[in-house]
Amino acid sequence: MPQRNASARRGLYRGAGRTIYLDNAATSFPKPQVVTEAMQDAVLRIGASPGRGGHRLALEAGRTVFGCRAAVARLLMAGQPDRVAFTKNATEAINAALFGVLRPGDHVVTTDIEHNALWRPLRLLADRGVELTVVAAEEDGTVDPDRFCRAIREGTRLVALTHASNVLGALVDVRPIAQAAHRAGALVLVDAAQTLGEQPVDVEAMEIDLLAAPGHKGLLGPQGTGVLYVGPRVQAIEPLITGGTGSRSEEAEQPDVLPDRLESGTLNLPGIAGLGAALRYLDDTGEDLRSRTARRTAELVDGLSQIAGVRILGPRENARRAALVAFTLGEADSEDVAAALDRQGIACRGGLHCAPQAHRKAGTIATGAVRLSPGPFTSEQDVQEALAAVAAVAREVAP
Ligand SMILES: Cc1ncc(COP(=O)(O)O)c(C=O)c1O
C-alpha cells in the first residue's frame, strides 16, 4: 500500500485510522521534510545566537537569519531584506505595526470582517484615543473599494485590513484602496495571514506599507514564526518591546535602524532556519503547489454545494477565494459537526475562528461554521473522503 506508507511517513495516521488534515488555515501541516531538517541542523549543529558574538557559529546563525530575511523580501518583491522583521506569529506582527505607527487622535479605516488579531488591538487603541471608521464588507466578505475609499479622508493615518477573511475567504483588492490611502497621506497595513505563500503578493505593486503574515501557514514554516514588512513610506515606527539587539549596545535608546528596532532579544533561530528552508522549497515548487491547493479548494466548493443542507460562506467564484471553505449544516452547531467529522478522521475547525465579526456578517454567529482548508499536500482522494464524511454527517444532523 504505497500511498498508506507515504502518508504514514508524513505522520498523518492516527491509530488504525487515517487522519485527513483540512485545517491549513490555522496552521499548515504537514511541513516539507526540509523544514524539519533545517530546524534540526540549527539546534544540533549551529546552536549559537544570531547577531550576538563574532565566533564562527554565531556568524553562521546570523547568515541563516539573513538568508531567510532575504527570501521573505524576495517573495514580497520588497527590495530591502532589512525591512523584514521576524515576529512569533501574524498577531505579533499586526500589533507591532498598529502600536508602532498609531497615536491618540489618529484616524484609522478598517472593515467589519477582521480577525481578532487586528480587531482587538484596534479596539484597544480606540479606547486610548485612536478614531476608528469601520467600513461594512459585503455578506460574502468582498470589500467594495469605492465604499472603503469614501471613508478615507485628509488626516487618515492608516488603513488596516485583511487580504482575505479567514472565515469568508474572499480576496480583497488591496491596490485601489492603497492608492486612495496614499493620496490622503495614509499608510496601508495588510493582514496577509490567509494569503502569503498561496496568493501572489507584491508589496510595491500593491502599494502595501506594512504587511503582517505568519510563517506557519501558507509559507509552510514552523509555528513560532511570523514576519512584519515595513515599507519606505513608514518613516517612524515605535518598537513594541525594547531591549538588547546586539547592535549599538553603548546607547540607552533602541536603535532606529531596521530590523533591529523591531527585534529585541534572541531570535528564534530554529524556527527561522525552518522558515528559510520552507521558502526555498516554495521557490522551487511554488506555482505547482499553489495550483494544487486551488484545485482542492475548487473541488471542496463544488462537492459541498451538492450536499443537501450545506450553506457555503464566501464568494461564489473560486478565483476570488483563498484556500478555505466555511459552511453550515442547517442549524447544527458547527463544533458538533467538526467533532463528528473528527470522529471520521477529518481534522477541521468549527466555531468562530477568532473572527466573530465575519460570522455576524454571514449570519452564523449562533452556530459558527465548519471550515475546511486544504494545503499543498491535500490529495484529491482526501477531498473526496472529506466530502463523503460531510454528506454522512449531513444526513444525520440536517436530513
Ligand atoms: C486573517 C488572520 N489574521 C491573523 C491571524 C493570526 O495569525 P497567528 O496565529 O499567526 O497570529 C489569523 C490566524 O488564523 C488569520 O486567519
In this structure, what CATH number is given to the domain that contains residue 298?
3.90.1150.10
pLDDT value at position 9? Answer: 40
Same-domain pairing of 152 and 12: no
Which grid cell sits at 167? 472565515
Q: Give 247 Cα–ligand 1 centroid separation in angstroms.
A: 31
How many Å apart are CA 287 and CA 381, to the nearest integer? 21
Same-domain pairing of 238 and 291: no
Neighbours of 305 (CB within 10 A): 13
pLDDT at 328 exceeding the cut of 60 = yes
Same-domain pairing of 120 and 165: yes
Q: Give 97 Cα–ligand 1 centroid separation in angstroms.
A: 14
Q: Is 226 in the pocket of ligand 1 (CB under 6 A)?
A: yes
Question: Which range of residues forms the domain containing residue 319?
Answer: 2-31+286-397
The catalytically annotated residue of 68, 149, 348, 354 is 354
Reported as a pLDDT band with limits 50, 70 and 90, residue 15 is very low
User: Where is 372: in which H helix or E strand?
Assistant: strand 370-372
Number of domains in the chain: 2
Q: Look at ligand 1, atom 7, and give the residue with the nearest C-alpha.
A: 90
How many Å apart are CA 5 and CA 11, to the nearest integer? 10
Q: Which atom from ligand 1 is nearest to the alpha carbon of 165?
A: 1
Q: Give 21 Cα–ligand 1 centroid separation in angstroms.
A: 18
- Of the residues 278, 306, 341, the one at which a domain ends: 278
Residue recorded with cell 534540526: 40
Same-domain pairing of 234 and 297: no
Mean pLDDT over 39-58 rounds to: 95
Q: Which atom from ligand 1 is nearest to the alpha carbon of 93?
A: 11
Mean pLDDT, the chain, whole residue set:
94
Same-domain pairing of 194 and 328: no
Task: Tell me the best of 27, 86, 91 to mutate to test the pocket of ligand 1, counting ligand atoms within 8 Å of each CB and taking the most.
Answer: 91
Same-domain pairing of 224 and 311: no
Same-domain pairing of 109 and 222: yes
Q: Give 399 Cα–ligand 1 centroid separation in angstroms.
A: 34
Same-domain pairing of 146 and 89: yes
Establish whether the linkage from the previous residue to 399 is cis, with ω within 30° of 0: no
CATH code of the domain covering residue 87: 3.40.640.10
**Among candidates 376, 384, 188, 152, which has minimal Cα distance to 284?**
376
Same-domain pairing of 255 and 308: no
Alpha-carbon distances, residue 346 vs 14, 21, 40, 177, 332 (angstroms):
11, 6, 30, 38, 18
Tens-place pLDDT, residues 61-120: 999 999 999 999 999 999 899 999 999 999 999 999 999 999 999 999 999 999 999 999
Give the lowest-confidence range in 10-14, 172-176, 249-253, 293-297.
10-14
pLDDT value at position 84? Answer: 98
Q: Is 166 in the pocket of ligand 1 (CB under 6 A)?
A: yes
- Of the residues 255, 278, 301, the one at which a domain ends: 278
Q: Which atom from ligand 1 is nearest to the alpha carbon of 91?
A: 11
Q: Give 312 Cα–ligand 1 centroid separation in angstroms.
A: 21
Mean pLDDT over 232-255 rounds to: 94
**Which one-letter amino acid corresponds to residue 189?**
L
- Of the residues 226, 251, 278, the one at which a domain ends: 278
Q: Look at ligand 1, atom 3, and give the residue with the nearest C-alpha.
A: 193
Backbone angles phi, psi at 304, to 5 degrees: -65, -35
Q: Which atom from ligand 1 is nearest to the alpha carbon of 26?
A: 14
pLDDT value at position 399? Answer: 63
Reported as a pLDDT band with limits 50, 70 and 90, residue 274 is very high
Q: Is 91 in the pocket of ligand 1 (CB under 6 A)?
A: yes
**Among candidates 304, 306, 316, which has minimal Cα distance to 369?**
304
Q: Is 348 a catalytic residue?
A: no
Same-domain pairing of 269 and 217: yes
Same-domain pairing of 379 and 264: no
Tens-place pLDDT, residues 112-129: 999 999 999 999 999 999
Same-domain pairing of 181 and 230: yes
Reported as a pLDDT band with limits 50, 70 and 90, residue 14 is very low
pLDDT value at position 339? Answer: 97
Q: Look at ligand 1, atom 12, and give the residue with the nearest C-alpha.
A: 193
